[in-house]
Amino acid sequence: MAGAPLIFRGVRDNHWVTLEIDIDDGSGVAPYEQVRSQISEQARAGDLPVGYRLPTVRGLAESLGLAANTVAKAYRALESDGVIETRGRNGTFVASAGSAAEREAASAAQAYAERVRRLGLAESAALDAVRDALRAAYGD
């Protein structure tokens, strides 16, 4: 399937995010490894931000012309590497790179961001609330 890469576009925090995957049948590298390495590289480079929702296994497999098991194998490897996390029926998301504490903090921050957005708070008000909470927690 060498040629033009398959591009998935989505909006995240009012910015376009692009997941680009190009499977080269003639490369000698297994397709699951090509999917794994391309998603991993884009996540680590910051092109795919923490919390970005990836396509479903079935959806990505169909779009790439691969078997669902091939994409599932790539997703399992990415999850094992800590690059992505599966949240059951909610989907598969880019995880934060770094320590477990940093991943937990990123997850808490993501939950907070979603909650204040649902509450209708402006970004500046949400940031003020975080700064106040951090000052209280760290004694500044």
Q: Please give, one letter per residue, the 3-state secondary structure of the chain.
A: CCCCCEEEEEEECCEEEEEEECCCCCCCCCHHHHHHHHHHHHHHCCCCCCCCECCCHHHHHHHHCCCHHHHHHHHHHHHHCCCEEECHHHCEEECCCCCHHHHHHHHHHHHHHHHHHHHCCCHHHHHHHHHHHHHHHHCC
Segment 41-54, tens digit of pLDDT: 898 888 888 888 99
- What residue ranges define each of the domains in the chain, with the CATH number in brackets? 6-94 (1.10.10.10), 100-138 (no CATH)
* Per-residue pLDDT band at 101 (split at 50, 70, 90): low
pLDDT greater at residue 2 or residue 17: 17
Segment 76-93, tens digit of pLDDT: 999 988 889 998 888 999
| Reported pTM | 0.63
